[in-house]
Every structure is written in C-alpha cells, then in structure tokens.
Amino acid sequence: MENLKRYFHMALVLVIALLLATGGVAWMLGADPALPWIAAVVLMLAVATVDTLRAIAQRQAGVDLLALLTMIAALALSEHLAGAVIAFMFASGRALEEYSAGRARRELSALVERTPRVAHRRIQSEAKSGAYPEEGSTLEEIPANAVQVGDLLIVKPGEVVPVDGLLISDTADLDESAVTGESKPRRRSRGDQLLSGVINAGSPLELQALKTAEHSTYAGIVRMVAEAQASKAPFTRLADRYALWFIPPVLVLAGAAWWISGDPVRALAVLVVATPCPLILAAPVAIIAAISQAAKRGILIKNGTALEQLADIQNLLFDKTGTLTTGRPQLVGIDATEGFPPDEVLRLAASLDQVSQHSTAQSLVAEARRRNLTLSIPDKVKEEPGEGLTGEVEGHSVAVGSLALILEGGTSDSWTKARLRHMAQRGLSGAFVRIDERMAGLLLLADQIRLDTPRALRALHRAGIRRTVMLSGDRQDVAETVALSLGFDAVLAERSPADKVAAVKSECRRGNTGMVGDGVNDAPALAAADVGIAMGARGAGASAEAADVVLLVDRLDCLPRGLGIARRGRQIAVQSVVAGMALSVLAMIVAAFGYLPPVLGALVQEGIDVAVILNALRALRPPPDNEPEARLPTGLAAHLQRQHSELQPVLDRLEAAGHFFNGSASNNNDNHKALNTEIQTAASVIREQLLPHEREDEEKLYPALAKMVRGFDPMGAMSHTHREIFRLAHRYEQLAADFAEEPPDELQVQELRRILLSLIAIVRLHFAQEEELYFTLSDTQQ
C-alpha cells in the first residue's frame, strides 16, 4: 500500500510536469498555453479535493484546504501559469514527503519483510522412535506458523530461525542484526536459547521449538513495528488541528492585501506561500526518521508520542533482576567439604546437570566448560522438579539441588547451617552437592550485575537524568548492596508488582518518569510510567506489549543511545518547524506588500519545503557519541575475559585456603603439618598462577589500552590496583617463608588469613573493573 501510494504521487508529479512543459512550449510557439496549464490545475485540484473530503469525513480539519483554495483562486483569476506551478509544487511536495517518509521507515519495513515464512521439521521414522533423531529421519517443509512446541527443526545456511528454540547442535554462528542490532555474527553453544528472526550464518543447525511462531520473539517485534508504522506522529496530529486556527488569519491577511491594494492577485500570492508545509512535512519526517534510526540500533520506539516522552524523561526507575542484572545465576564460589576438591565437586555436578534445561543447571555446565573440566555422560538420571537431580557419574552416586533433596529427610549439621547463614547474608542462592552419600559441597550462585550497567547509569546521568531509583522484590539489605555499588539515588526493596506500580505513580508526580523492566511482573509498572521501557529481545512478551520502547539489544547501555536519538529527533523536528514557519510567515508578508508574485511565491515555498525536509532527514544520522576511535578486536576482548574465567578457580582455591586457616592453629603436630602445607601451597598458587597474569597486564596490555582511552595516564588508577595486589602478594610470601620451618601461632595465622582474603577481594574487584573496560572498548556488542 505504501509503495502504491508513493508510485501514484510520483506519476502525478510527472503528468503535471508534462502539462506544465507542454504549456510552456505552446507559449514559446505563439499558441495559447492555457489549456494544458488548466488541465494541470484541475488534475491536482481533483486529487486535493478527494483528500480534503476524506479528511473531513475522518473529522480532521485537513491543511490541504489551503492548497485547494489557492488553486481555485488561480483558476478564478485566470492565473493559469501560477496555478500550474502551484499544482506542480504541491504534487512534488507530496511526492517528496512520501519519499522521505519511506526512507525514514526503511529500517522498520525491513524488520517486517524478514518475517520467517517456512520451517523444516525433522520427522522421526518409527524405527528411531524415542531415540535422538539423526539417521533414519526425514525433513518436511511446513509454514512457520505450523510449528508446535517440542518440534525438532533444521535451519539451513542463510535461513531465518522461524521460532524461539533451544539449540541442539554443538555450536551455531548466527547473524542477529535484525533482532539485536549486532552487526557481526555471534557464536552460540548447545543449550543456548535462539531467538526467532536471526539468520543462520554457518552450517545447518538443529533446534527444539520452545514457542510457536505467533508467540516467538520476532512475531512480537513485528506486531510492535506494525503499531509504530500505523501510528501518527504527534506533530502530524498537530498539523491537522493547526488548520483550525491558521486558515482564518491567512484568509484575513489575503483579504486585507486585496482590499488595500485593490489587486486580487496579491491575495493569491499570500495563499500560495501560506501552506504550512514545514509542519505538515518536516516534523513528521524527523520523528519517523528518528524512530527508524533507533530501530537500526536495536531500539524499537513504538510511536511519535513515545519518542517525545522519551526525549523528556527526567527520572528513571529500574527493576533489578534481569534488567540491572543478567537474570541468570552464575557460579561465584565453591564451598567444598573435607576430602572433596572444589573443581571435582563442580565437575561431577555439571556432568549430572548436562541433561537438565534448568537455568541453574545450564549455568553450572557452562562454568565447568569455561574451566576446561572434562564432563562425563551421566546415567540413571532422575530430575525432581524444583528440587534438583540425582544419578550416577563415573560410578559415583551424585545429587545436585536443594538441601532437602541432599539430606533426604535428615537434619542439617553445623557446616550446613553456617553455609545457609552465609548465603542469606550475601543474598546468594546455592546448589548443594552430595557424592556417594556424603555432603560434598555447596555451589554458590549469584545473579551478576551486567557489565554494561554501571556504564549505562553514568551515561544516563551525563545525559541529564536527574534521579535514578532501583525497584526490587529482594530483601532491603541485599537490594541496598546492589544499589550502593551502582550509585542509585534511591532503592525501594521488598516491593510486590502492585507496590512497584505505586512507586512509579509517585515518581511520575515528581516529573516525566520512565520505568525499565523485563519480566511479566513488570508489565503493570511499565504501563503506569510516562515511558515504559522493556529490556532485551526476551521482553517481546507481556512487558514489551505494555512498554512504549523496547530495547531489542539485551544491553542496558542502549538506553542512553536511544535517549540521545529521541532528543536529537525532537530537536530537529522543532527546529524545522520554527525555521520553516518563520520563513513562510515572512514570505506571506512580502507577498501581501506586492513584492512576491504568485509564480515566484510558489518557487519560494517549494524551496522552503525542500530545505526543511532535508533538515528533517538529518535525524536519520545517529547522534555523535564519545566512543573511543580505537577498539579492542572482538577476539582479543573475548580472550581477555576468558583469562579471567580461567583464573576464577585460582581465586576459589585461595579462598578455600583462607577458610582453612580460620581456627586451624593448634598444638597438634598433624594440624601444624597440614597448615604449613596449605600456607605454602597458597603461596605457590599466588606466585605461579596469579602474579604472572597481573604482571603481563601491567607491562603489555595497559600501555596498549592507554593509547585507546587517551588522556594523561588514563590507566593510572588501574595500575595502582596492580601495585596493591603486588604488595599484598609480596607480604603473604614473606610471612609464608618465615613459617616454612616453624609453624605460626594463632595470631599469625589470622594475619595470613587477613592478607589472603584482602588480596582475593581486591583481585575480584580488579577483574570486574577490567571486564567493564574490555566491554566498553570491545568493537562488538556482546
């Protein structure tokens, strides 16, 4: 429909131009040029009349009424050339508007056109029924909307993933640009959830459907895009209302010019330049262009009203889980009981968890693989929903899950009670592990803060956001810990969905307020805010439907970028309107005094139109950012982060040593021997595994990063942290050397423990700072 409309206006311009040229040739040959010029006016008059009547039927004033009056006046005054020029300018203005709007909507239309149409479903043969379907199965091509949950699908190279699903293949390379805005292919691993709408950029992959096409991510995006395309920008609605008060003063000015001068042509000249094209054309084009630019960056703004409100927000509220944090549990520590090495506890637990699709199980499997632990295929696995798994791994009886599952009706001992208190104090969750009927350890899990969250919050404050508030259902002490680490102005904890709605309404009374969330329970709060912002491609469900803005890229630092695009788009729209209307009013005054004849006035008005539309199209360009020119190659950034992952077991090992030191000093010779062994082992781990990494960073990596970040000594603070790490490590090694022959007393052991735990805390903080820096400098969204 849009293309047909655009082609019609282009054809109309060509026909009227041909009639105008025909009249000009007739005039030069001495013939009467009136007939082709009148035909041009009548043709454009007919089109404008139909549009005006349609606008009146829809109870809209219709600013086309001025153009209608102008062409009628030209015919009445026998100003045929002026009428033909006006008709051509009016037709070309409409064609230019359609072209500009079409270009501005291009990114939105591209999303709709890429909707998955077909899927390839694997059909098991009867002989293979119940087995993993590979050989003996066939493929059938079906419509994407015929896919059912649980179907096994094959996606060929270059094809679009038709539904949200679970990756069955070992790895897959995917082009996620249409969904996330990420320009480079991203590698996914077995067990990852794939979003519909992404393109298979590698070899054929297999996935299991988790949703139907109707309820998949891309369908939700398409519905929201359709809403964005169908909505009228607020400036467009304003233009319709504008005619109600603009037309009478124009008619009065035209009548006054006629009455004072006695020349009706002056009235015609005033009408020619009076059409409010800057408001009709430029402002909507700027708004649509900004929406299109945002969509290109993975930010779906549903309509012009949402864009204006986004540009005006002063306060922002954030849900915690899944918005500020990843929403997925990550292993942050391993508490192993005596006789069970921490890595062995994780390896056996992850081996068992391979058969589970629970998010915690998949997180443990991913962490074990990051640590290069060898996983075995489990046997006799039984999963208790909400509790955990039991089974056999390498001949060992293994159970992973809740404490109730591990104890099997037994009672907690002192070790278990201490770990439960520790988890509660730190706001952690955990998976207990039992091996061969013995408590083997506790895998501590936490919902980690997103790497981009601190950077995003700083960028929002720099952009003028006055107040940030964190909403959470967590306990007050846990929520405050997260809020303080991120620098929020306020934290509202232990809030139910209804409490969140009340908090949003309260903030709205302070000023224009946005709410950022990602879960189904956030939908009411998103709807209550002036601007609801749904987080990530996963938000294409209830939260995204309730939101005004959807961040398709699962990164919070897209929000400052979207805020910049919205503010720039609105600024350009207002700029175009003010400048264009000022020029139009000036041209009306000049025409009223007789210095601007109708034909020249039409040309002047066309020049104003072209100028303001070209200015409006500037909104298609992204706003300038302050990103560093040099970027870390994707592979290097991933390598640096992988190094930190590989060092996490080293920190776990040192932390276990610190816990061992606690109360270990005694007069027992066996205890002394074990204590000395642990002290020397920890010293060896620090010297041989931790310090070489830090020295390499200081001597090789930091000088390279300093050139990217620029400024005077930009890595100075990070280098200072290195020096503190080296100091603590050196102090520990000195004490360890002193105790090589003679065992330490209890006070000396506590000093060793203090130094070791201080070292671990600083290194963990340092890793977090470095990872945020790598993330910021990375040349790709991760």
pLDDT digits (tens, 9 = 90+) for 4-59: 766 787 888 898 889 888 888 888 888 888 888 888 888 888 887 887 777 667 66
Instruction: Work out the number of other CB atoms within 10 angstroms of the CB of residue 544.
Output: 29
Q: What percent of the chain has pLDDT over 90?
A: 2
**Rounded Cα gap, residues 443 and 361, in angstroms:** 11
pTM for this structure? 0.66
What does the pLDDT look like over 340-356, one tens digit per residue? Answer: 888 889 999 998 888 77
Report the chain's terminal Cα–Cα distance, integer Å: 38
Contacts for 556 with CB less than 8 Å, ≥ 6 apart: 323, 324, 450, 452, 453, 456, 516, 535
Cα–Cα distances (Å) from 565 to 226, 499, 518, in that order, read 21, 32, 22
Q: What was the pLDDT predicted at 668?
A: 47
Lookup result for tokens 């307020």: 513
Q: Residue 237's beta-bridge partner residues?
A: none
Structure tokens at 262: 């006695």
Residue in this structure with the two tokens 């040739």, named with its chain if needed: 25
What confidence tens digit (pLDDT) does each residue in 87-135 have?
A: 887 777 677 666 655 654 555 555 566 677 788 888 765 444 333 344 4
For the chain, the farthest-separated pair of C-alpha atoms sits apart, in whole angstroms, at: 125
pLDDT value of residue 50: 81
C-beta separation of 584 from 277 below 8 A: yes
pLDDT at 317 (0 to 100): 92
Instruction: Give the tens place of pLDDT for each residue, 137-180.
Output: 677 888 888 888 888 888 888 888 888 888 888 778 887 765 55
Q: Which of 62, 26, 20, 76 is nearest to 43 (CA)?
A: 20
Choice among 64, 151, 164, 319 that is catalytic = 319
Of 182-191, 509-518, 675-684, the range with the lowest mean pLDDT is 182-191
pLDDT at 316: 92
pLDDT band with cut points at 50, 70 and 90 for residue 542: low
Average pLDDT over residues 664-690: 73
pLDDT of residue 236: 52
Q: Please say if 609 is a catalytic residue.
A: no
- Burial of residue 700 (CB within 10 Å: 0-12, 13-18, 19+) is exposed
Residue that is written with structure tokens 């919050």 in the block: 457
Tens of pLDDT, residue by residue over 439-472, are: 988 998 887 787 778 888 888 888 888 899 988 8
CA dihedral 149, 155, 159, 163 (to 10 degrees): 10
**pLDDT score, position 132:** 39
Question: Would you state the pLDDT for residue 203?
Answer: 82
Write down the pLDDT at residue 243. Answer: 54
